[in-house]
Chain A
Amino acid sequence: EAGVTQFPSHSVIEKGQTVTLRCDPISGHDNLYWYRRVMGKEIKFLLHFVKESKQDESGMPNNRFLAERTGGTYSTLKVQPAELEDSGVYFCASSQQDRGGYETQYFGPGTRLLVL
């Protein structure tokens, strides 16, 4: 079974440019999460999809970030225009809740974004 994949693995862009990150979750997982980790800090929640619907986007920093999950499969996270503080590692995770309501999230390798 394929795990969660993310593309690209690295991205270096200039301030003001646009970057689109992609996440392919594990097949059949309804839940898809985006997280961000800034160096030395904890992982921060960005948003949560259940199938194609945004369940919770309370962690999105501002309206420069746009996430989509068309058809409830893969997801994209677009940053436009990128700012210096957007640099960090963006992780995607997917999960399927068990009967008890507990879930284990499976993470992708992350996209390392550097905004210069």
Chain B
Amino acid sequence: SQKIEQNSEALNIQEGKTATLTCNYTNYSPAYLQWYRQDPGRGPVFLLLIRENEKEKRKERLKVTFDTTLKQSLFHITASQPADSATYLCALKDSNYQLIWGAGTKLIIKP
């Protein structure tokens, strides 16, 4: 079956440390994968896009990796801050489907 999985348990990280979130998928051939941030009561906000032929993408304190062999994307936030606390969603685009979403991982950065 086809699915995209993110850790459903909240991730608690100490301020200043690196937070790493995981997105795994099965039976899709993504053209690209995206990461979004969602705050309570708000819609998702786009953060980064990584293409199938890219291994890594960076934007300020954010880094995304994409391993099509492992069928996994990792999302890193370095020097984490309490303001980074939110739910982070991954979404992949397979040419045969619309954007497919993971359920999200809640990240809590403790001061």
A-to-B contact residues, CB < 8 Å:
4, 33, 40-45, 48, 56, 58-59, 91, 93, 102, 104-110
Task: Report the Cα distance A93→B34, complex, angstroms.
Answer: 15
In addition to A44-B101, A110-B42, 7 A-B residue pairs with Cβ atoms within 8 Å of each other are A43-B91, A45-B100, A48-B98, A56-B98, A58-B98, A93-B43, A109-B43
Q: A40-B103, A42-B104, A45-B99 are in contact. Are A91 and B43 (CB under 8 A)?
A: yes
Contact residues of B: prevailing secondary structure: strand
How many pairs of A and B residues are in contact by the CB < 8 Å rule?
45
User: How would residues 18 to 40 of chain B score, 1 for a CB under 8 Å from any chain A CB and 0 otherwise?
Assistant: 00000000000000101010000
Chain B: CB-nearest residue to A48: B98
Q: Decide: A45 and B98 in contact? CB cutoff 8 A.
A: yes
Q: A41-B103, A42-B104, A43-B101 are in contact. Are A104 and B49 (CB under 8 A)?
A: yes
Cβ 8 A contact of A102, one of B4, B32, B100: B32
List, in ascending order, chain B residues with CB within 8 A of A108's CB. 43
Contact residues of A: prevailing secondary structure: loop
Q: Decide: A107 and B49 in contact? CB cutoff 8 A.
A: no
Task: Report the Cα distance A33→B103, complex, angstroms.
Answer: 18
Q: A4-B43, A109-B41 are in contact. Are A102 and B101 (CB under 8 A)?
A: no
Q: How far is the CB of A29 from chain B (nearest CB, A)?
A: 13
* 27 residue pairs A–B, Cβ–Cβ below 8 Å: A4-B43, A33-B98, A40-B103, A41-B103, A42-B101, A43-B44, A43-B89, A43-B101, A45-B98, A45-B99, A45-B100, A58-B98, A59-B98, A91-B43, A102-B32, A102-B51, A104-B34, A104-B49, A105-B46, A107-B36, A107-B43, A107-B44, A108-B43, A109-B41, A110-B41, A110-B42, A110-B43
Shortest 8 CB-CB distances between A and B: which pairs? A107-B43, A43-B101, A42-B103, A45-B98, A42-B101, A104-B46, A107-B44, A109-B43
